[in-house]
Amino acid sequence: MKIICAVKFVPDVDSVVNIVGTATGDPETIRTGRHPRMILNPDDACSLAFALQVKAGNPGCSVEVVSAGPLSVRPHMEDLLRLPVDRATLISGRFFDEGNSSGRHNSSVTGDLLAGYIADRPYDCLLTGTQTLDGGSASVPVQLAEALGLDQMLGIIRVDPHRFDTRRAVFEVADDTRITTYEMVMPCVLSLTRESGYKLPYVKLTDMRRDVSDDLTVITAEELGFSEGEEGRTGSFTRVMNIYPKTYDEKDRHIVQNDEAGITEVFDFLKAEGFL
């Protein structure tokens, strides 16, 4: 079985202390007091962890990772080769260069680039995360599926390992009111969420020291047949013009202690406001 995982490295937004509110035009370039740490997007990490779990139980299974992003994520891609995945490919180029403020790098372009590469690769199943920490729109997996003419499902919390093969996948999707089990014909795109809880394995000590720099394939959008003008081919009619730091109105808070006086004050407030 051949699995391709499309992943993204994202700024660890929880590590960002201060976001300066100026328009960069590029959602990838978050201007901060310091460079945010890049991490494998949590949903994507779960999908890769599931793929490696399948591979561990099936020696004939191969796992390839593909990512579209700036060259600066190269060390992170190399780390994935040490997990180990069988093949890792980074699609890079001008679109993803830091400082590119064209505002034209969007989910549609990313989906097209990934699809342009994956279309020529052998695969039985594509795994992705549902949404990313930085964007959170869940558009790329859907646009990837559309570009490849495949079915796709978002929000997967569990894949049945006994009913996951080259023919079909059975999986569960959770929403507010129910957990639904679906069966989807392969090849298809399955998008997992972090709620799935699949954990990446630890890298073996011997693998941590392994030089994998020659094993990572780096290709450019141009090599995939995308010309410079094509970056704005679809979806480029929308452009990030402003970035506003989210702010909240601070209140004139009243601090009380967790003692008789403090609890009485809370109780009296609840009573006065009609909550009791």
Partner 1 sequence: MKRTCIFQDTERMGNTTGLLEAARRLYGEEAFDTCGVFLDDPGDHFHGIFSHVVRVTEGLMDRWDARAMTGVLEKLHQQHDFDSILIPATTLGKMIAPRLARRLQAGLVSGVTDILRQKDSIEIIRPACSGRILEGIRFSGPAPVILSIRPNAFDYTPDASPGGGLQTNVSEYSAPATARSAVKQLHVEKIKQTRDIRDYEVLVSGGGGVKERFSDLYPLAAALNGTVSASRKLVDQGIAPRAIQVGQSGKTVSPKLYMALGIHGSMQHLAGLRQVDTIISVNTASHAPICSLSDIVVQGDTGEFIDRLMEKIMIHKLNNKDS
* 123 binds partner 1 per the rule CB under 8 A: no
* 151 binds partner 1 per the rule CB under 8 A: yes
Residue closer to partner 1 by CB (options 3, 184) is 184
| Of 136, 169, 210, 204, the residue nearest 50 (C-alpha) | 169
- Given a contact cutoff of 8 angstroms between Cβ atoms, the answer to whether 53 and 67 are in contact is no
Looking only at residues 188 through 217 of this chain, which bind partner 1 when binding is defined by CB under 8 A? 188, 194-195, 197
- Given a contact cutoff of 8 angstroms between Cβ atoms, the answer to whether 28 and 87 are in contact is no
Collapsing DSSP to helix, strand or coil, 249 comes out as coil
Stretch of residues binding partner 1 (CB under 8 A), selected from 49-57, 83-91, 152-160, 210-218:
152-160
219/275 Cα distance (integer angstroms) = 61
141/131 Cα distance (integer angstroms) = 8
Collapsing DSSP to helix, strand or coil, 172 comes out as strand
* 120 binds partner 1 per the rule CB under 8 A: no
User: Least separation, in Å, of the C-beta of 41 and partner 1?
Assistant: 11
120/223 Cα distance (integer angstroms) = 13
* 175 binds partner 1 per the rule CB under 8 A: yes
User: Least separation, in Å, of the C-beta of 208 and partner 1?
Assistant: 27
Looking only at residues 49 through 108 of this chain, which bind partner 1 when binding is defined by CB under 8 A? 107-108
Residue from the set 68, 143, 159, 190 that interacts with partner 1 by CB under 8 A: 143
Residue from the set 209, 227, 246, 272 that interacts with partner 1 by CB under 8 A: 246
DSSP at 35: P
* 265 binds partner 1 per the rule CB under 8 A: yes
Residue closer to partner 1 by CB (options 34, 254) is 254
Element (DSSP H or E) covering residue 7: strand 2-7
- Given a contact cutoff of 8 angstroms between Cβ atoms, the answer to whether 112 and 232 are in contact is no
At 57, which amino acid appears?
A: G
Residue closer to partner 1 by CB (options 212, 243) is 243
Residue from the set 206, 211, 245, 272 that interacts with partner 1 by CB under 8 A: 245
User: Least separation, in Å, of the C-beta of 106 and partner 1?
Assistant: 8
Residue closer to partner 1 by CB (options 93, 129) is 129
255/270 Cα distance (integer angstroms) = 16
Residue closer to partner 1 by CB (options 34, 253) is 253
| Of 99, 181, 194, 189, the residue nearest 139 (C-alpha) | 189
Residue closer to partner 1 by CB (options 62, 107) is 107
